[in-house]
A and B are shown apart, each in its own frame.
Chain A
């Protein structure tokens, strides 16, 4: 279950829209008084409009600081309406008429992870009629999933793919074009769309855009507005992508920096997930550096350097063996083989990995 602190998210949304607390609580409506039960403050500020306040700025402050004991439903509803998002304090990723709809959603996800887009499409056809029409999150999910399948089946080009992904995001974040992606509190489904966007830039080798986008996501996630388990998974994923991008750009020091941060976090929170990617990249970068090392003429320094190279190599071997087993125990056999190949390339005289 993804848990967010409401006050923190409201503050983030308000600041992303460049509103002060006073601006946030103002409400102008041409509709009849009392429809939303907001406190009437001033009259006739604009022709035909009446100004109400959703709540006082002080109350908003307490909500944002999470010191409000109780928040009226109408107040929350008003604030979310003002921001322009769905007024929901709780929701499921999709709303469906059948209890096994989420099983089908999970199947679609598994098929897509394994590159089985035809199978994913077949299951999606079963899921679609179960989904409640008119619910924006359902529409968002369908738009995203259909676009991913169509793109990987080469039915649409990357520009159309990106257009659909951004349009999917606008289903729940209609003011998307006004905000900085780094500043908005994304939920799980929205973050999946952002990941798909990053993958799209990667697939067309637009490294500049991919880097810019990933750095924004990194900045966003490091605000830690989501629960710890989501933070660690999202943060690690971003670090994996950044490290990989830095490897491709031959910026090995930067790549290793990202790897070390990710490895430390995974160790601290006992996360498996993407750890083997980080270990792999860190070994690859270190070995490249070792192989490009220069040897000074002074012999004593040479001996020291050789001893240092030996130590670093042992470190690399240990790391790669760790990566191998960490990927094996989570059933990631594709990467297990990938790591094995690197091991055999770098250390052909060592015992084979079993």
Chain B
């Protein structure tokens, strides 16, 4: 229960983040250890919660993410090193979105030089270096996996065990796991690992948690894996779920690919009904028009040709 003392402005100001973390942790029934394991010591978190130690923004972000606090509902005013670090990270993410990989690589190197001594920052560096490797024309899968392992082992060295035991993981930790599973070469093993991960997310859903970006990414990869294993009905179901999850989000997030995948899965199951064909065409057109809008018509020329030939569709010219 809250009283006037809790609303004391000076006390509030000096202990805002700590107080907020403690209150949310206790409301959700988590121990300090569960929330901070691998990020900081329990005694450090105690001091932070008591307002005796200042928490850095990256650390606060990761802890809040582990506690499934809806980050879009929080606002931070950053200053000093926190502010410059945040700006650097956002610059890197934007360069990846714009596919300016050479510049992204340069920025990552600067980021490493400036902040590489901090664990949370090294995790960020290794993760995005792995993404950079993935985006190369000829990615080195082994190198990608090594970088992802370096990233995840900074805060969750026993991540498989943690997943089995339904431990708390932050958004970036979950993304690392998703990417690691995607590196698995054995398709059946990959599917099994995705299925286990799906169970983990279902458990989170039962706790009325908000789902991070990692979940949407996971669903896309899972759909791909099911398609590769020719499990078309399941693939369609996962695509349906991913598309619905994306409703109401403001960024494109490569969702065009889900419509494409769903269409291909429908084609794969070989039903001849007119309705099925119409659904395939509708999804392929959605995929084409969304992707060509954001990524250019030239890049999607092969998809356009495919639709014209397979469905005898006439595009506007």
Residues of A at the B interface (CB closer than 8 Å) are: 1-7, 9, 63, 66, 68-71, 73, 76-77, 80-81, 86-94, 97-100, 102-103, 105-106, 110, 132-135, 187-188, 227-229, 232-233, 267-273, 314, 317-318, 321-322, 324-326, 328-331, 350-351, 354
Contact = CB atoms under 8 A, between A and B. Distances in A.
Given A228-B90, A270-B252, A1 B80 contact: no
A326 B79 contact: no
A320 to B, nearest CB: 9
Contact of A271 (B14, B24, B252): B252
A1 B74 contact: yes
B75 A227 contact: no
Nearest to A9: B77
B167 interface: no
A102 B70 contact: yes
Contacts of A99: 24, 27-28
Interface in B74-116: 74-81, 83-84, 86-87, 90, 94, 97-98
Given A3-B76, A66-B79, A91-B75, 18 more contacts: A1-B71, A3-B86, A5-B79, A71-B80, A86-B9, A89-B16, A89-B76, A90-B74, A92-B20, A98-B27, A103-B210, A134-B7, A228-B94, A229-B251, A270-B251, A271-B252, A350-B316, A354-B278
B97 A6 contact: no
A336 B61 CA distance: 37
Interface stretch (B34-42, B132-140, B286-294): B286-294
A1 B83 contact: no
A227 B79 contact: no
Contact of A326 (B78, B86, B281, B293): B293
Contacts of A188: 75
A351 B90 contact: no
Contacts of B160: none
Contacts of A91: 16, 74-75
Interface stretch (B118-126, B191-199, B224-232, B241-249): B241-249
A25 B182 CA distance: 55
Contact of A88 (B12, B250, B317): B12
16 contacts: A86-B9, A89-B13, A93-B73, A93-B75, A103-B210, A227-B90, A228-B94, A267-B294, A268-B98, A269-B94, A273-B250, A314-B316, A322-B293, A325-B285, A326-B290, A330-B249
B17 interface: yes
Contacts, number: 176
A321 B244 contact: no
B314 interface: yes
B20 to A, nearest CB: 6
B244 A314 contact: no
A269 B79 contact: no
B28 A68 contact: no
A310 to B, nearest CB: 11
B222 interface: no
Interface residues of B, number: 66
Contacts of A68: 79-80
A132 B2 contact: yes
Given A321-B316, A354-B282, A1 B13 contact: no
Interface in B44-94: 60-61, 69-81, 83-84, 86-87, 90, 94
A88 B13 contact: yes
A325 B84 contact: no
A4 B289 contact: no
Q: 6 tightest CB-CB pairs across the interface, nearest first?
A: A331-B247, A325-B289, A1-B71, A6-B77, A6-B79, A273-B250
Contact of B75 (A4, A80, A317, A351): A4
Given A87-B13, A322-B293, A329-B255, A102 B73 contact: yes
B208 A103 contact: yes
Given A66-B83, A271-B250, A3 B293 contact: no
- The residue among B72, B244, B316 with the most chain A CB atoms within 10 A of its own CB is B316
Given A134-B2, A233-B250, A322-B289, A70 B74 contact: no
B14 to A, nearest CB: 5
A90 B76 contact: yes
A11 to B, nearest CB: 12
B77 A267 contact: no
B4 interface: yes
Interface string B253-282: 101100100000000000000000010011
Contacts of A110: 248
A128 B80 CA distance: 37
Nearest to A68: B80
A90 B255 contact: no
A244 B240 CA distance: 33
A330 B247 contact: yes
A279 B250 CA distance: 16
